[in-house]
Amino acid sequence: MAEDTASNWTITGCTVDDAPALGTNNAGAFWGQPYWRMIWPDDAQLSYITEQMQKRIATHVLLFDRHKRRHEKAVDKKTGALLGYARWLLPPALQSDGPETAWPEAMVPDVDEEAKKKFQALADTADWKPGEHTPGVNTEELDAKISAVQNRLRAEREYMILDYVAVHPDNQGRGVASSLARRGIQQAERLGVPIFVLAFDVSLGVYLREGFREVERLLQDARPCGGNENYNTYFLVYEPESLKTA
């Protein structure tokens, strides 16, 4: 467990028991973002989306690609409430679930086959079809352009990927996202690997303040697809000190 002595929370790894809290946190974090909200019907309720997400998290997030993914959460020191979450993807050379695996404290502990079947059965009951009930919204062309840039940049070298950061609106503006990003930066410095992240307008400042460098941006207008004019993405890299001096 990693204490953040400068704050009121602790950064630690995740387990399957965190699925309900993660669903609440993650759905709430993205519900107010236009690029995510637009894929759900106008009459969709956050409470319903949260419930469906909670059903899927153990199977489709926490136990999926355990050898590759690393998960951390920020937890309030006094209340134990989950304040934020980050998911990282290790570069291929470091992916392992053996005893020598990298960053083992952020690897979700495995569960037995019976538990996996129960989690899968629960996930199968989820009503999770983003975009299916919003016929006026089609972001495929926009997303394809984003993927093309991202794939080109990520093919240039091996990165640790900051894949997902979510902080519930009740906890935003307190530095939780920055703390989660710093934990990955510490690992990147220790492992000697650069970090790649795709950011939107709402999160760009966090990464720039933590030392990431913007390498490219893609500014798109989503109004023809049913969104708004700001469908902007930024591609950033963090370079460990060991690679700067190599």
pLDDT in tens, 116-161: 999 999 999 999 987 665 666 677 888 899 999 999 999 999 999 9
Residue 75 reports pLDDT greater than 70: yes
2-244: CATH class: alpha beta
Mean pLDDT in residue range 203-217: 97
| Mean pLDDT, residues 74-94 | 96
Residue 81, pLDDT score: 97
Read off the DSSP letter of residue 124: H
This prediction has a pTM of 0.91
On the question of pLDDT at 197 being above 70, the answer is yes
Answer whether residue 5 shows pLDDT above 60: no
**pLDDT (0 to 100) of residue 177:** 97
Residue 90 · residue 160 · CB < 8 Å: yes
- Is the Cβ–Cβ distance between 184 and 103 less than 8 Å? no
- Using CA atoms, how far residue 16 sits from 59, 89, 111, 126, 140, in Å, is 9, 18, 8, 17, 32
| Per-residue model confidence (pLDDT) at position 1 | 47
Identify the pLDDT of residue 221.
84
Q: Considering the chain, what percentage of its residues have pLDDT values greater than 70?
A: 92
**pLDDT of 6 strictly over 60:** no
pLDDT for the residue numbered 99: 77
